[in-house]
Amino acid sequence: MRIPKIYNGKGRTFFFAAWEAWRYSKAVGLTYISPTADELNGDFTNASVVTSSGKPALLYNPFQTTRTAGAYTRPLLGNGYVIPTAMIDPNMQAYLKAYSDTPNFTPSVPGAPNTI
C-alpha cells in the first residue's frame, strides 16, 4: 500500500487496534461513609469508624510515639475521641467541608454507610 507523501509502501507495516466496553444492564446504587459535621471539626465521639466491639476507635498521637523497654507507646489525643484544634490542618478542613458530601441518613448500625 502506498500513500503519496506520507508512506512509500516499502517499510514493514504493523497495525494494532483494541476496543473495550463495560456495560451495566441494571442501575447500581452506591452507599458510602461521609464525615459528619462533628468529625470535620475533630470530634470523633460518635464516629462512624468503630472497633469490632462497636465502640468508636480511639485516636492516638502519632507525633509523640516513644519506645520504652522495646515496646512503642503512643499517648491518646485529648480524651481519645477528640483531635485538638491545633493539630487540624485548616486547609484540609476547608477542602473537606467544601468537597465532602453531607450524610443524608442515619445508619442503623454504627460504622455503616451514611450517604447515598
80, amino acid identity: G
Q: What is the pLDDT of residues 33-81, one digit of tens each?
A: 888 888 888 888 877 667 778 777 888 888 888 888 888 888 888 788 8
Collapsed DSSP state (helix, strand, coil) of residue 14:
coil
Alpha-carbon span 61 to 73, nearest angstrom? 10
Work out the burial of residue 44: count CB atoms within 10 Å of its CB; fewer than 13 is exposed, 13-18 middle, 19 or more buried. Answer: buried
Tell me if 61 sits within 8 A of 77, measured CB to CB.
Answer: yes
Among residues 97, 104, 110, the alpha carbon closest in space to that of 45 is found at: 110
- pTM here? 0.62
